[in-house]
Amino acid sequence: MRLDFLNYDSFLLRSLVSVLGIFSFILCLSCTRQYAEHDHLLPDLAAFVDPFIGTDAHGHTYPGASVPFGMVQLSPDNGISGWDWCSGYHFSDSIIVGFSHLHLSGTGIGDLADISFMPTHQTVDFSKTIESRLDLDYHAKYRHDKEFAAPGYYRVQFEESDILVELTATERTGMQQYTSGQDGLLHVVVDLGFAINWDRPVETYLYLYDDNIVSGHRYSTGWAKNQKVFFHTEFSKNFDGYYFVGDDFTLSDSYDIQGKRVKGLFSFDMKKGEKLVVKTGLSSVDNEGARLNLKTECPGWDFEYIQELSYAIWNKELNKIRIESEDAELKKVFYTGLYHSFLAPVMHSDTDGRYRGADDQVKKAHFDYYSTFSLWDTFRAAKPLYTLLQPHRVNDFIRTMLAHYDEYGLLPVWSLAANETNTMTGYHAIPVIADAWFKGFRDYDVEKAYEAMKASAMQDIRGVNFLKEYGYIPADLEDESVTKTLEYAYDDWCIAQMAKALQKNDDYAYFTERAGAYKYLFDEVSGFMRGKMLDGSWKPNFDPKFSAHRVGAEYTEGNAWQHSWFVPHDVEGLIQLFGSRERFIEKLDSLFNEDSEITGENISVDISGLIGQYAHGNEPSHHIAYMYNYAGVPSKTQERIWEIMKTQYNARPDGLCGNEDCGQMSAWYIFSALGFYPVNPAESIYVIGRPMFEKMEILLHDDKVFEILAPGAENEGMYIQSVKLNGLEHHQTYIHHRDIANGGRLEFDMGPSKSNWGTHPDNFPPSMTKVKQ
């Protein structure tokens, strides 16, 4: 082993730092134990969370350890590249090749899985050719009955070696605990070359910092074209041996190594049952940032304490909504959904405020800078949910988007590791900002926010140039033309509302006109939104069930049945295009009653969770069942919402009918179970559906409580008979955000028969086009 780089001066310095670190840890421990003890008074709602829900089928979630919105997602990797392994893990698998520190929750594209560690008792030969994961000497088999996960914690015991691996996390650090399965050497492989799916390393570096410390970095390209991760890892025991492995597979006992796919192996002489703790700080900035993150958040070696603290943090977050039910399975679905809703966006700035921005420059922020903004998905329900349950984060989300604008020139579309990926359609940071602004979240430069919104809408890429020139996006000039036109129209409506509020009258008129772009694409004969050519003719050979993924498509990850309903800002205008409410209702019924055949040779795999042609497994369908309220038949909304909640969610690993998509799939369930949903996310209203539970409480900031009562809702009470808000009869089929945020009580009288509640036009939700009596 090489330790001659240690000199006496550096030893004294590190000893002093160690003493100071222990002192600060004692102070931190005292404070946080009091915090944890206080939180032990809360109901243990975290016990209803099962992180394995969504890890099977196409949910694409991970089972590992994280804290709410944390930078670190420490989780097992099966070592397979494939669509159902976008998170690195799939419940159908039985092999683990490592535990890496960064993962995506429920996305349809695979990336991350950075900084991988793997314990083994096997002798490792790095020189042999690796054609599959089974060729890795350190791969391990496991069974699900030897696996367990809870909020902030994961463990698994390997079949052959009996090594027990436990994982927990703080906001910017991951902590692992390995229990040796036998006497002798325990090796820990640090594989910076490990990569799955789109990710590829371009530069990796390992440095022996001390006799129990290793640091380094991993630069990679993939979905995020320029990702940089720095790490600082400390082991609870000194190394009894180590070596590095270069790109040419030669072994080295030098102090550092750099290459494209470098690895390190660190050996420890262990007794059976002895524990080795490994803790790692991450940073997007540099190794010093990673070291300081680790020192600040995880200075000690008490794995159980960090695990308990992580669990307590989660339990406090989950206690923001309390439900009463005798059905433990339903409570598991609900609280796991709330848990999934709080996994992203993720912290991107260090404890000292530094972060690496979209321009690859290191900045220092006076706020928490976040990344992983899956905006095509989360603008619909997840971001509105945060305005209720995460109000202290909302302004920082907006500040992050404005910093991204400063660094990139446009608002984020899909930000990953602060990289703009430009994934998906629309410019949906705009409704997120508008939603926050109209709800009173304004602790940022509002004029800059409006400037950024307008800049994104006036760009000349992503089909916006055609929208500006022709009023719609021609199908013969741009793929996914229908979806893009519809989504830009909605985003433009959001800008128009901001312009009106800020007294920018010319902009208000201009963007209001653009908000009506959906009308160009409505075909009165078929009743669908269709691709229109530059010459004004319809694209030929129309089939509403046809799907083409990306190339040659008019619809993004869907077909005409699923995308023709995206006019959330003007449902009344859409109804008028149909010619009558009766025809609109008939078409909406047909969506759910049509057979589920999808045609085409390149069908999007994202079309899932089908009820007829309604596809709950992908976001464009999420608002549709609530549209019956706009047509005066809320009883049909109530029927469909109940059906979707009952058939598309369950408490098994396959409990999500489609990609979780960074919280959106679960946020739909949370809102719908509460009894309402933000059909138009930037309108500050929630359209009423039907509650899932008989009693629910939303615990808001400033000790305010919004109580929801619905006796009989879980059993015979399918239909709403009447509603009261704060003791007064409430006839409208929607409620305002302020009604909830101010605290109060919403009471549902439920019954087995349909009623006339909400059927008068005066009670319909608002639209851009005024309701015709």
Whole-angstrom CA distances from 553 to 324, 483, 544 are: 45, 10, 12
Start-to-end Cα distance in the chain: 85
CA-based angle 25:30:31, to the nearest 5? Answer: 100
Whole-angstrom CA distances from 572 to 565, 581, 773 are: 12, 9, 11
- Structure tokens, 749: 């009288």
As a whole number of Å, the CA-based R_g of the chain is: 27
SS3 content of the chain, % helix, strand, coil (to 5): 35, 25, 45
Instruction: Evaluate whether 215 touches 262 at the Cβ level (below 8 Å).
Output: no
- Partners of 100 in the β-ladder: 75
Whole-angstrom CA distances from 563 to 485, 490, 618, 622, 740 are: 11, 13, 11, 11, 30
- Structure tokens, 543: 């089939």
pLDDT at 716: 84
Strands 599-602 and 546-548: parallel
Mark the ranges of the chain whose per-residue pLDDT is less than 50.
1-37
What span, in angstroms and rounded, lies between the C-alpha atoms of 390 and 339? 13
What span, in angstroms and rounded, lies between the C-alpha atoms of 454 and 504? 12
What span, in angstroms and rounded, lies between the C-alpha atoms of 700 and 131? 53
What span, in angstroms and rounded, lies between the C-alpha atoms of 154 and 101? 13
What span, in angstroms and rounded, lies between the C-alpha atoms of 277 and 176? 6
What span, in angstroms and rounded, lies between the C-alpha atoms of 554 and 473? 10
Q: Which of 376, 341, 321, 380 is nearest to 678 (CA)?
A: 380
Instruction: Evaluate whether 290 touches 658 at the Cβ level (below 8 Å).
Output: no
DSSP annotation string for 11-71: HHHHHHHHHHHHHHHHHHHHHHHHHHHHHTTS--GGGG--TTTTSSTT-----SB--TT-S
Return phi, psi of residue 234, to 5°: -120, 140
Instruction: Evaluate whether 104 touches 199 at the Cβ level (below 8 Å).
Output: no
What does DSSP assign to residue 681?
Answer: T
Instruction: Kindly give, in sequence order, each residue whose CB lies less than 8 Å from that of residue 633, ignoring residues fewer than 6 positions away.
Output: 585, 759
Q: Which of 669, 645, 649, 651 is nearest to 50 (CA)?
A: 651
Q: pTM of the predicted model, to two decimals?
A: 0.95
- Partners of 615 in the β-ladder: 610
Q: Is 648 helix (H, G, I), strand (E, B) or coil?
A: coil
pLDDT at 504: 98
Instruction: Evaluate whether 610 touches 621 at the Cβ level (below 8 Å).
Output: no
Sign of the dihedral defined by the CA atoms of residues 375, 377, 379, 384, in that order:
negative
Q: Is 563 helix (H, G, I), strand (E, B) or coil?
A: helix
What span, in angstroms and rounded, lies between the C-alpha atoms of 54 and 33? 33
- Structure tokens, 407: 């660094």
What span, in angstroms and rounded, lies between the C-alpha atoms of 464 and 237? 58
Q: Is 268 helix (H, G, I), strand (E, B) or coil?
A: strand
